[in-house]
Amino acid sequence: MFYCRERELRDLNKRYNRGEFECIVIYGRRRVGKTALINEFCKDKPTIFFSALNASTQENLEAFSKAMFEKENPGTDLAPVYPSFDAAFTKITQMAENERLVLVIDEYPYLAKTSKSISSRLQHIIDHTWKNGQLFLIYVVHL
């Protein structure tokens, strides 16, 4: 069951239904239901859910590539690895041309710690490509 986050869920759905680019940051202490909220929100929406690892940039790129591949090929274990995050972001741009797409980056600080340029790369693609698109981006930060 899903409890106590109905208002937040309603707000997320309202913003999603506008059909415009959105960048949402959800933050708070661990174990307060942030991921449950996101899972409930994404239940009926095309979603790439990536949970960053406290690991190397390469391991995060591999996990991100796998999350992207699973969106289009559910249940597949083997996934090609993009040569860079820029290449992966280009693919996400293409995917969002055909449908409104939710991209969740859970544990964002892990990704930012291991890939020093990721925040500026995301800012660049948001400012120059995604801001006029159908992408709904969610960062989840556990304090």
CATH 3.40.50.300 corresponds to the domain 23-142: yes
Residue 51 burial by Cβ neighbours in a 10 Å radius (0-12, 13-18, 19+) = middle
What does the mean pLDDT of the chain come to?
92
Quote the CA–CA distance of 91 and 130 in Å, as a whole number: 12
User: pTM of the entire structure?
Assistant: 0.92
HSE-CB at 8 with a 13 A cutoff on CA atoms is: 17
Confidence at residue 3, expressed as pLDDT on a 0 to 100 scale: 62
Query: For 62-77, what is each residue's pLDDT tens digit?
Result: 999 999 999 989 888 7
Confidence at residue 1, expressed as pLDDT on a 0 to 100 scale: 55
